[in-house]
A = this chain, B = another copy of it.
Amino acid sequence: MKSEDIPNSGRTEVLVQALPYIQRYQGKTIVVKYGGNAMINEELKTAVIEDVILMACVGIRVVLVHGGGPEIEAMLKKTGKESRFVNGLRYTDEETMEIVQMVLCGKVNKDITSLIEQAGGKAIGLCGIDGAMLKARRITTQDLGFVGEIDEVDVSVLNTVLDSGAIPVVSSVAYGIGDDEGHALNINADIAAAKIASAVGAEKLVLMTDVQGILRNVQDPLSLVKSASLEELEQMKKDGILSKGMIPKADCCGLALKGGVKQATIIDGRVPHALLVELFTDEGIGTMLFAEN
């Protein structure tokens, strides 16, 4: 069905049906982890930008956190950088970290910022180094080079930007503390989003992925779990229901919920305007996880 086939009566009804959702989220903070196909496919990209601006327009304080795996990959290749692997994981040496920082903070971040500006929104591109917003230490479970885990989130810069009416776009690059004082550290963007959501007291964390959500049977699209409590999520994990790829996403949602975020939703970024469907319609989309009471 094409949009131009919808008569005005249908259009206004759609707008009116969005009203209770707008009332619910107004003045609240929602952290969106932007990634996957929605960051590659041009049409999806445009849709996400529109969604984010619409959210900001109706008074939601949106924080957009992004990674950028494919772009990093491409640039590493372009510069002829050979990667070293440790237990199958890429080792982030000095030179790789430099590329990661350049690509994420200089390319991906500013391109998203520009898209928001082009669509009439107001955005400011930041990374964890700005105002030392994301303070991290190297992970110690294994030596992966300049890969960090967040120790502390300083929300003052985010609040300055949100209060000024702009959308902060945040790259997952952290400011090293401890032995790596001031050195940039590569961090997982999903976890960065979850940590930021907790720190700013977000109402909701939305993870954009390339899957439908949590499926009870990964082969059966109809087995989608529409919502689950944190407790139920942990039971599913124990029961081995979560697919291997889903486990880190689910853990990330759990992290946010335990940090005080009310809801964490895994949505299918391959569906255009999945954000709006999730936020402004009855059905929502994907799997919504919530803290008990």
Interface residues of A (CB under 8 A from B): 1, 3, 6-20, 22-23, 26, 47, 50-51, 53-54, 57-59, 75, 78-80, 98, 101-107, 109-110, 113-115, 117-120, 122-127, 129-132, 156-157, 160-161, 164, 166, 173, 175, 181-184, 272-273, 276-277, 280-281, 283, 285
Residues of B within 8 A of A18 (CB): 15, 54
Instruction: Determine whether the beta carbon of B125 is less than 8 Å from that of A113.
Output: no
- Additional A-B contacts beyond A6-B10, A15-B273, A16-B50 (12; CB < 8 A): A8-B273, A16-B54, A23-B57, A79-B79, A106-B107, A110-B173, A114-B184, A117-B175, A118-B182, A123-B130, A125-B129, A160-B161
Residues of B within 8 A of A110 (CB): 101, 105-106, 127, 129-130, 173, 184
Residues of B within 8 A of A54 (CB): 15-16, 18-19, 22
A275 to chain B, nearest CB (A): 9
Chain B residue at minimum C-beta to C-beta distance from A121: B23
